[in-house]
């Protein structure tokens, strides 16, 4: 087991939260226990363990803003949410399918490993890319996919 320094971890998480806040990625709001809003640009999820507090929070926000309640969360920022027996499973199947179609790769076959084992990347091997924007866009999309597919993290980071 890895020994993690609690103070260093807390400091690192503090810095990460401040960075996300300063870049307007997330807006963190203090709310009573039982209901928390998660805001991303103009989308918001209200979560919690107390349905009445969640409902009260939505009513208060609805008086201030024009809200549209979309019901149970099934898809948010490329992540699908599936509910079962009081639990949830998240995946990015639709995100991957959309990405494969966008790139014209939807007909490719699955492989047991996402890269050629033992292959070293080199500036002198292969054909140079003509469109760096597309490459960077693909790598960014794959990095987002590692949220639910940690098995591809190593390869994606090697390519980035």
Beta strands, E only, 9-128? 36-40, 43-47, 75-76, 79-84, 87-91
pLDDT of residue 101: 92
In the chain, the percentage of residues whose pLDDT exceeds 70 is 75
Decide if 44 contacts 38 (C-beta within 8 A).
yes
pTM for the whole thing? Answer: 0.59
Alpha-carbon gap, residue 49 to 90, rounded angstroms: 19
Please return the burial class of 8, using the count of CB atoms within 10 Å of its CB with bins 0-12, 13-18 and 19+: exposed
Mean pLDDT of 3-11: 63
Name the pLDDT band for 98 (thresholds 50, 70, 90). Answer: very high
Mean pLDDT of 26-35: 57
Q: Which residue has the tokens 């949830």?
A: 88
Name the pLDDT band for 84 (thresholds 50, 70, 90). Answer: confident
pLDDT above 80 for 105: yes
Mean pLDDT of 56-61: 79
């Amino acid at each position: 087991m890895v020994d993690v320094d609690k103070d260093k971890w807390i400091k690192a998480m503090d810095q990460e939260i401040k960075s996300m806040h300063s870049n307007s990625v997330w807006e963190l709001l203090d709310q009573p226990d039982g209901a928390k809003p998660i805001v991303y640009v103009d989308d918001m999820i209200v979560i919690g363990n107390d349905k009445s507090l969640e409902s009260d929070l939505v009513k208060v926000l609805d008086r201030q803003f024009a809200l549209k309640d979309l019901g149970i969360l099934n898809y948010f920022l490329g992540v699908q949410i599936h509910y079962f027996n009081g639990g949830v499973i998240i995946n990015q199947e639709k995100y991957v399918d959309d990405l494969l179609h966008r790139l014209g790769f939807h007909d490719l076959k699955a492989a047991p490993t996402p890269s050629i084992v033992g292959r070293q990347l080199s500036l002198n091997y292969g054909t140079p890319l003509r469109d760096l924007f597309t490459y960077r866009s693909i790598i960014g999309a794959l990095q987002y996919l590692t949220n639910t597919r940690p098995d591809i993290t190593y390869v994606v980071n090697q390519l980035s």
